């Protein structure tokens, strides 16, 4: 595969941008080789600067659930841009998107727009601390909640990929209030509450962990977490930046019938533009400035163009719930196909999948948490990664990320991918 343009662009990028990228996991450091510089995207496909075509299995890390360059979303952005880009005032679309979410997701009584998932998480944690008057936060090893200081402790995603689960630059004074539990291990949660009675403001969890590869909650795990948080007076925050509006319209909360106190969103609600949001119980959200004393703000929060893209995408998802069945079919078809390859070709892989999210681990043990995920053979993954990339399948360049399917993926794309994967395990 000819990638001369990407190679020369990467060389230039390395001169001016740390690692040549604006987000670490894009740099291909864990799989080696040259990141592909994508020029354009359409439907289920990406096209790089050298004209190579790929089936898109990262969907911009989740936002492009309807596929790339969707005509309705594009039209909404162009139309909004004709009226101006940013006013720094209240605007109608902010009311419309807040109304759409709050009137259709019961546990979201109020919502605040921000510009990224990181900002949503940072603000939700501050709201929980302000509401409870407590300082400590529980997160789970391998879960990633953006790069706010308090969350860069045993974090997943790019940190797990680069093997630095704890970032330098985070003061001990901050990290000491972040307690880490083990995913799918309720005893580790109970132990932290017992050791810190009355001190834990909130527990934040990815209800489906998609930043250590894909790890599913075991039966009863989320229910027990809900019970413990209620008993201990700690705020339960579902970080639905990935699962929100993806697993179901109401996200993992609807999928698993659990009611969180706060929820964070990102990705899909921006339709490809920079948007995050946090919301939930009214009694907590009314603590937020200007009506409350928990401060949070943002110049471009609720930006008119971003709201137009988000509204367009959410409106399609709301009006066409059959999309979720379609997404589940595609994800299940992929997972079943990979498991068939595992059986027939004795491939050393474990496949996790839920709806339009999947994960393929190069290991023989079930992957249920950070430790079991870390046992994956990253070298073998890297070989598989490049084999598939060179044959036009663009997955996340890390063993510790998820596979994202969109409504634009067709049966044919999946069959084509499975055929190539089977050949790799020949
Ligand atoms: P952003 O600040 O990147 O918009 O969102 C942070 C975030 C919060 N919560 C969850 C559950 C997330 O998955 C993320 C970000 N996801 C990664 C992908 N694993 C973003 C990709 C990247 O960092 O480049």
Note the pLDDT tens digit of each residue in 38-74. Answer: 999 999 999 999 999 999 999 999 999 999 999 999 9
Q: How far is the CA of 145 from the centre of ligand 1 (A)?
A: 6
Residue 163 in this model has a pLDDT that exceeds 80: no
Nearest ligand 1 atom to the CA of 240 is: 11
pLDDT band at 160; cut points 50, 70, 90? confident
Helices (H), 262-369: 282-285, 304-319, 322-345
Q: How many CB atoms lie within 10 A of CB 11?
A: 11
The dihedral through the CA atoms of 267, 270, 273, 275 has a sign that is negative
User: DSSP characters for 117-179?
Assistant: HHHHHHHHHHHHHHHH---EEEEETT----S-GGG-SS--THHHHTT-SS-TT--HHHHTTEE
Answer whether 74's CB lies under 8 Å from 81's CB. no
Residues 290-340: pLDDT tens digits?
A: 999 999 999 999 999 999 999 999 999 999 999 999 999 999 999 999 999
Query: 3-state DSSP call for residue 397?
Result: coil
User: Which two tokens mark 175?
Assistant: 């990290």
Token pair 């139309």 in the structure block, residue = 79
Q: How far is the CA of 425 from the centre of ligand 1 (A)?
A: 31
Q: Which residues' Cβ are closer than 6 Å to ligand 1? A: 23, 25, 61, 116-118, 121, 144-146, 157-158, 206, 211, 239, 241-242, 266, 276, 401
- Residues catalogued as catalytic: 144, 239, 267
Strand order in 350-354's β-sheet?
350-354, 357-361, 403-404
pTM exceeds 0.85 for this model: yes
Residues 85-127: pLDDT tens digits?
A: 999 999 999 999 999 999 999 999 999 999 999 999 999 999 9
Distance of alpha carbon 180 from alpha carbon 21, whole angstroms: 29
């Amino acid at each position: 595969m000819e990638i001369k343009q990407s190679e020369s662009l990467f060389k230039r990028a390395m001169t001016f941008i740390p690692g040549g990228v604006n987000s670490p996991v894009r740099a291909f450091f864990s799989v080696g080789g040259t990141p592909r510089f994508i020029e354009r995207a359409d439907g289920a496909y990406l096209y790089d600067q050298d004209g190579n075509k790929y089936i898109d299995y990262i969907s911009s890390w989740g936002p492009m659930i309807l596929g790339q360059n969707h005509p309705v979303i594009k039209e909404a952005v162009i139309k909004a841009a004709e009226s101006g880009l940013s006013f720094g005032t209240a605007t109608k679309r902010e009311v419309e998107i807040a109304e759409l979410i709050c009137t259709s997701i019961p546990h979201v009584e109020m919502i605040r727009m921000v510009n990224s998932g990181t900002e949503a998480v940072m603000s939700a944690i501050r709201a929980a601390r302000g509401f409870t008057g407590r300082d400590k936060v529980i997160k789970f090893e391998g879960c990633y909640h953006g790069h706010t200081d308090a969350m860069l402790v045993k974090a997943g995603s790019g940190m797990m990929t680069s093997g630095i689960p704890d970032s330098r630059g985070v003061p001990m004074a901050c990290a000491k209030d972040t307690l880490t539990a083990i995913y799918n291990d309720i005893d580790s949660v109970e132990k932290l509450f017992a050791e810190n009675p009355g001190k834990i403001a909130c527990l934040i969890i990815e209800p489906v962990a998609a930043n250590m590869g894909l790890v599913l909650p075991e039966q009863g795990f989320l229910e027990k977490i809900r019970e413990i948080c209620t008993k201990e007076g700690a705020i339960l925050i579902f970080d639905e930046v990935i699962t929100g509006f993806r697993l179901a319209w109401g996200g993992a909360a609807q999928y698993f019938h659990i009611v969180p106190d706060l929820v964070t969103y990102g990705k899909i609600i921006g339709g490809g533009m920079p948007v995050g949001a946090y919301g939930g119980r009214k009694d907590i959200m009314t603590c937020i400035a200007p009506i409350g004393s928990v401060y949070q703000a943002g110049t471009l929060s609720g930006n008119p163009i971003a709201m137009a893209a988000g509204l367009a995408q959410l409106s399609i998802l709301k009006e066409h719930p059959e999309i979720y069945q379609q997404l589940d079919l595609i994800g299940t078809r992929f997972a079943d196909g990979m498991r068939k390859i595992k059986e027939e070709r004795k491939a050393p892989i474990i496949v996790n999948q839920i709806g339009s999210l999947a994960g393929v681990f190069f290991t023989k043990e079930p992957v249920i948490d950070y430790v079991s995920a870390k046992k994956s053979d990253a070298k073998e993954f890297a070989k598989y990664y490049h084999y598939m990339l060179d044959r036009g399948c663009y997955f996340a360049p890390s063993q510790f990320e998820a596979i994202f399917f969109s409504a634009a993926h067709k049966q044919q794309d999946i069959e084509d991918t499975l055929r190539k994967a089977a050949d790799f395990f020949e």
